[in-house]
């Protein structure tokens, strides 16, 4: 019965991941709850899951990566990229991919991509290079670089934790650097040759509007003391029918009114901020009961009306943004930021209308127009990545050497096995906080808690599969089908299956499900399990064919104006190439 329940849990979790029924961490933790409530795992065994060192190490590495960002190290690398990139596309691609891969070998690749995103967009504006020709190489290079060291990817650390719990020899810091180097070289050469021919030339979101549509201005007006508009709802006024002018902000007694505009009732002295086309100025002037700054009440001539040029900003919603899962109406976007949404890019489509009730999601790219203060408020919003203007952050550059030394200490001391990597990463994370490289609040914000809880949930499900004999049963079934082919063919098939599953669900979830299975398979074949484990490790990092398989792909999806098929066209061939590299190189570097 327990085996049947575990089977249903695995199927249910897999379907829920693919159908996106809930957040991956919620799905995984639901699986954990089921295997505990059904008695498959005892409470003590559940706590044993939380003793795995991998999530602790991954969390500490998030903090160390954030310290490098906060002290300006990654920003400085971005400036070096701008100096070296020039105006040649191939030169820019080479510099970008080498830098992204090199940085991602030692820190989380997500902050690398997030920092480089607006830099690449800015380069495309000043040089005429297409951002869509550079952003896929940026994301792919970050993934390739993560395969070069133990700390380069959360998947590497997670599988190392499973290996430790299985009583096998843990991985060394540079144990698979040769294989990762081959991966990175093969991937970069592919993107510079065949892949470059397949990269699309897409327009970014800000380029889809007509020229006339961007010639809009901001106009200030006020409700007069004897106005007939006092006490009326916005929908009851002439403003509701205007197409050339829209109210985007109302101020009362010096403060912004945060009520939804369609629920707001005007009061005497309310200050209005309107977005107007040049042809709409006359319509606004003709509304009775409003006055304009600098003009006597009741005189509505054009002279003296204050028109301000609106600012346009393009930005990507990050996974931890407070806007995720909410519509513009629920956020009260227009009132909160004094700005309006001109367009939304989602899953390859540029939406210019009917998106007011659309639930915003991670990866959505917004084109926003509004006054300078409203745009600045939005730009500083948590986990909103501006592609037009970088956040004006004060970097703690004097602390940069401390953050760099902390990362290097983890790498070097781990390589010489002075202490376990979990201990080293935790000590280093605490030290960068104590030394002022990062505030405690920023450190907590830097940790991707959703990934950690996804890992805990999947570890519990994996433990349940092993305990019920499911892993052994599946391993025997697979060997029954493939046993005649020999270990190298089995390794090749394991890698391919890992890649296929990873494109559908989380790479970490795939690693947790498959790593125990391949350990069982190796035991039953009487072979060293290391080659098969590495096949799973590298296959789970090969998320090139879809924009949803890996977080960095989702970040660049809207920013580059991509369609879903753009990733498939470029990424499928890269997956096939790396499959061949893995089939040849893994048995060569890690013999059975």
- C-alpha to C-alpha distance for 477 and 2, rounded to whole angstroms: 19
- C-alpha to C-alpha distance for 54 and 497, rounded to whole angstroms: 24
Model pLDDT, residue 350: 66
Rama region for 98: left / alpha / beta (φ>0; ψ in -120 to 50; rest): alpha
**pLDDT mean values, one per 10 residues, the chain (592 residues):** 88 88 91 93 90 91 93 90 91 96 91 90 85 94 95 93 91 95 96 95 64 57 87 86 81 82 85 76 80 50 48 84 84 79 74 71 84 82 80 79 95 92 95 94 91 92 87 78 83 93 86 90 90 95 85 87 90 96 96 88
Model pLDDT, residue 38: 92
- C-alpha to C-alpha distance for 562 and 67, rounded to whole angstroms: 31
Phi, psi of 80 (to 5 degrees): -65, -40
Helix then strand then coil, in percent of the chain rounded to 5, is: 60, 10, 30
Q: Which domains does the chain have, with CATH numbers?
A: 2-204+402-589 (no CATH), 217-309 (3.30.70.1450), 311-386 (3.30.70.1450)
**DSSP-derived secondary structure for 254-266:** TEE--S-GGG-B-
Rounded-to-10 torsion of CA 241, 243, 244, 247: 60
Model pLDDT, residue 214: 46
- C-alpha to C-alpha distance for 250 and 338, rounded to whole angstroms: 8
Model pLDDT, residue 421: 93
Model pLDDT, residue 226: 84
Q: How much is the pTM?
A: 0.81
- C-alpha to C-alpha distance for 232 and 265, rounded to whole angstroms: 5
Residue that has been written with the tokens 């505009």 in this structure: 261
Beta strands in 302-457, from DSSP E residues, in sequence order: 307-309, 311-317, 340-346, 349-351, 365-370, 384-386
């Amino acid at each position: 019965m327990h085996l049947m329940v575990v089977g249903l849990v695995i199927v249910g979790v897999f379907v829920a991941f693919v159908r996106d029924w809930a957040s991956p961490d919620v799905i995984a933790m639901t699986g954990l709850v089921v295997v505990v409530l059904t008695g498959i795992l005892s409470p003590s065994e559940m706590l044993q899951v939380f003793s795995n060192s991998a999530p602790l190490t991954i969390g500490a590495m998030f903090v160390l990566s954030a310290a490098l960002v906060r002290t300006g190290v990654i920003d400085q690398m971005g400036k070096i990229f701008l100096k070296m990139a020039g105006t040649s596309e191939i030169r820019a691609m080479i510099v970008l991919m080498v830098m992204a891969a090199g940085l991602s070998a030692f820190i989380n690749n997500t902050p690398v991509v997030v920092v480089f995103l607006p830099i690449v967009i800015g380069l495309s504006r000043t040089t005429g290079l297409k951002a869509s020709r550079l952003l896929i190489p940026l994301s792919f290079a970050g993934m390739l670089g993560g395969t070069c060291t133990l700390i380069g990817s959360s998947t590497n650390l997670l599988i190392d934790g499973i290996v430790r719990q299985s009583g096998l020899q843990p991985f060394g810091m540079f144990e698979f650097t040769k294989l990762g180097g081959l991966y990175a070289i093969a991937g970069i050469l592919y993107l510079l040759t065949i892949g470059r021919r397949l990269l699309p030339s897409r327009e970014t979101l800000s380029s889809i509007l007509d020229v006339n549509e961007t010639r809009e201005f901001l106009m200030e007006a006020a409700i007069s003391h004897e106005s007939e508009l006092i006490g009326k709802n916005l929908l009851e006024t002439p403003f509701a029918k205007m197409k050339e002018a829209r109210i985007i902000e109302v101020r009362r007694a010096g403060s912004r009114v945060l009520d939804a505009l369609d629920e707001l009732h005007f009061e005497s002295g309310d200050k209005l901020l309107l977005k107007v086309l040049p042809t709409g100025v006359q319509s606004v002037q003709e509304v009775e009961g409003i006055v304009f700054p600098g003009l006597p009440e009741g005189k509505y001539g054009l002279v003296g009306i204050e028109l301000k040029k609106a600012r346009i900003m393009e930005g990507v919603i990050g996974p931890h943004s407070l806007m995720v899962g909410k519509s513009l109406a629920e956020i009260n976007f227009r009132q909160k930021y004094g700005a309006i949404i001109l367009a939304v890019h989602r899953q390859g489509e540029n939406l210019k209308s009917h998106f007011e009730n659309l639930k915003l999601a991670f990866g959505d790219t917004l084109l926003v127009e509004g006054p300078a203060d409203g745009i600045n408020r939005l730009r500083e919003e948590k986990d909103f990545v501006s592609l037009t203007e970088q956040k004006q952050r004060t970097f703690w550059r004097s602390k940069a050497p401390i953050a760099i030394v902390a990362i290097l200490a983890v790498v070097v001391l781990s390589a010489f096995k002075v202490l376990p990597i979990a201990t080293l990463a935790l000590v280093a994370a605490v030290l960068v906080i104590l030394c002022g490289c990062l505030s405690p609040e920023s450190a907590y914000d830097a940790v991707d808690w959703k990934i950690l809880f996804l890992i805990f949930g999947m570890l519990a499900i994996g433990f349940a599969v092993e305990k019920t004999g499911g892993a052994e049963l599946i391993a025997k079934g697979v060997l029954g089908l493939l046993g005649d082919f020999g270990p190298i063919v089995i390794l090749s098939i394991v890698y391919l299956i890992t890649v296929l599953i990873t494109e559908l669900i989380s790479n970490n979830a795939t690693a947790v499900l498959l790593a125990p299975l391949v350990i069982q398979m190796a035991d039953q074949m009487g072979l060293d399990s290391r080659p098969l484990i590495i096949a799973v490790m590298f296959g789970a990092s090969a998320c090139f064919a879809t924009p949803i398989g890996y977080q960095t792909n989702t970040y660049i999806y809207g920013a580059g104006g991509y369609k879903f098929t753009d990733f498939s066209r470029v990424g499928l061939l890269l997956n096939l190439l790396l499959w061949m590299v893995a089939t040849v190189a893994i048995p060569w570097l890690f013999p059975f």
